[in-house]
Amino acid sequence: MPPHNNKPTRLYTMGILSKINDYMGLVKFAHTIFAMPFALIAFTFAIQTTDAAFSWLLLAQVVLCMVFARNVAMGFNRWTDWRIDKENPRTAEREIPAGKISPRSALTFVAINAAAFVVTASSINLLTAILSPVALAVIMFYSYCKRFTAFAHIVLGLSLSIAPAGAYIAATGTLTFAPCLLSLLVMTWCGGFDIIYALQDRDFDRANGLHSIPSRFSVATSLHISIVLHVVSIIALIGFACYCPQCWALWTGVALFTACIVLEHCLVTPTRQRSIGIAFGTLNGLASITLATFTILALLFC
């Protein structure tokens, strides 16, 4: 009997994996590390400091909401901006302008994830159900902001800041001051590092009538605004830390997070911008994961 030819099956499997990889690239799934750790901090804080009961199902629902919301935010952003991305040499190879994913397929992907987000949020409690469309509106509104305001970076930060507040609401059904401090931290931290990231497109944005802090102000002024936002982030972090159990792990996390932010501004200056990729991706990812690790340890064991 001749050997069975598995080539068509392998090609089909490779095609599926390639398409999954395209969608992972579309939503920059690796960038989930910017908001997910803060959602986990807020969730753990709620469980440890209130009478909220822990369950693996609830944790899974929170994580799924984070993933679905992230997919909506990035997928919709890529859909609204694909014509702009096509003209920008830095972004021309993104999935939609490069033809890997069609605009219609991207929008369908967004719609599926938006529906999944609302359904999952509605299965948690009444408040998460009521607020789920509001959260979607905020994260989708950001995609249009560069067309009319230089402060789109703050709107991006606001959309990411929903994560810790949403996780706390999921666990408790309410919202208090402490998780709001965590949301303020996320909003100003993300707004600050997005300004640094936008330095790469300063000339393109100016030439095409797009709005951002770097396209409106000088590089030096833009970086000063970023520093001010990050100072607010550190203040908000210290404020939140005061509500947590006091121990070495907590303040080690705060110190390491702060060190990452300081190093970010040491790497990117008005005269040196070659390390924007490291400052934006590596350092901010390290900052969020490190802070979450040490803060959650403090909440669980101190």
Report the DSSP beta bridge partners of residue 269: 272
What DSSP letter does each residue of 29-96 carry, written as one string?
Answer: GGGGGGTHHHHHHHHHHHHHHSSPPP-HHHHHHHHHHHHHHHHHHHHHHHHHHHHHHHHSTTTTTSTT
Does a structural domain hold residue 9? no
Helices (H) and strands (E) in the chain, counts: 13, 0
CB atoms within 10 A of CB 83: 10
Does a structural domain hold residue 271? yes
Q: CA-to-CA distance for 236 and 257, rounded, in angstroms?
A: 12
Taking alpha carbons only, the member of 261, 117, 131 closest to residue 191 is 261
| Token pair belonging to 224 | 């000063």
Does a structural domain hold residue 142? yes
- Residue 117: predicted pLDDT: 97
Q: CA-to-CA distance for 45 and 101, rounded, in angstroms?
A: 39
- Residue 87: predicted pLDDT: 94
Q: CA-to-CA distance for 278 and 284, rounded, in angstroms?
A: 9
Taking alpha carbons only, the member of 132, 31, 140, 138 closest to residue 80 is 140
Per-residue pLDDT for the chain (302 aa), expressed as one digit of tens each?
Answer: 455 556 666 655 655 666 676 677 676 666 677 889 999 999 999 999 999 999 999 999 999 999 999 999 999 999 999 999 999 999 998 889 999 999 999 999 999 999 999 999 999 999 999 999 999 999 999 999 999 999 999 999 999 999 999 999 999 999 999 999 999 999 999 999 999 999 999 999 999 999 999 999 999 999 999 999 999 999 999 999 999 999 999 999 999 999 999 999 999 999 988 888 888 778 998 999 999 999 999 999 98
CATH classification at residue 179: 1.10.357.140
Does a structural domain hold residue 136? yes
Report helix, strand or coil for 267: helix
Burial class (CB in 10 A: 0-12, 13-18, 19+), 192: buried
Does a structural domain hold residue 4? no
Does a structural domain hold residue 12? no
- Residue 15: predicted pLDDT: 58
Does a structural domain hold residue 294? yes
Residue 226 backbone phi and psi in degrees, to 5: -60, -40
Domain that holds residue 149: 31-301
Number of domains comprising the chain: 1
Does a structural domain hold residue 26? no
Q: CA-to-CA distance for 196 and 206, rounded, in angstroms?
A: 16
- Residue 277: predicted pLDDT: 84
Q: CA-to-CA distance for 168 and 102, rounded, in angstroms?
A: 36
Please check whether residue 189 is in contact with residue 226, taking contact to mean a CB–CB distance below 8 angstroms.
no
